[in-house]
């Protein structure tokens, strides 16, 4: 989710993901749908929704996803 901001995840970076986290408003989560795996920000809007940072991508209600985990860090590895 490279929106150009400081929290962006850019191509070539690896995610550190905590499995089985508690949901937290504003947290970044890796969620799975029948279409694949997506990075989304959790938001409480009368119910949990996972929304993209970049317009044009779908948001998902909690009932439509399997939460893989919460993103706790991003690292860049340079291969020798």
Q: What pLDDT digit, counting tens, does each position of 6-63 carry?
A: 667 777 788 888 998 899 999 999 999 999 999 999 999 999 999 998 889 999 999 9
The pLDDT of residue 16 is: 85
The pLDDT of residue 1 is: 54
Q: Which domains does the chain have, with CATH numbers?
A: 18-76 (2.10.109.10)
- For residue 75, the Cα-to-chain-centroid distance in whole angstroms is 15
């Amino acid at each position: 989710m490279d929106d150009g901001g400081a929290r962006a995840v850019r191509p070539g970076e690896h995610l550190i993901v905590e499995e089985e986290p508690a949901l937290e408003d504003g947290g970044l989560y890796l969620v799975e749908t029948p279409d694949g795996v997506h990075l989304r920000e959790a938001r409480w809007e009368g119910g949990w929704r996972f929304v993209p940072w970049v317009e044009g991508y779908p948001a998902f209600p909690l009932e439509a996803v399997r939460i893989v985990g919460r993103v706790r860090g991003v690292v860049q590895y340079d291969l020798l």
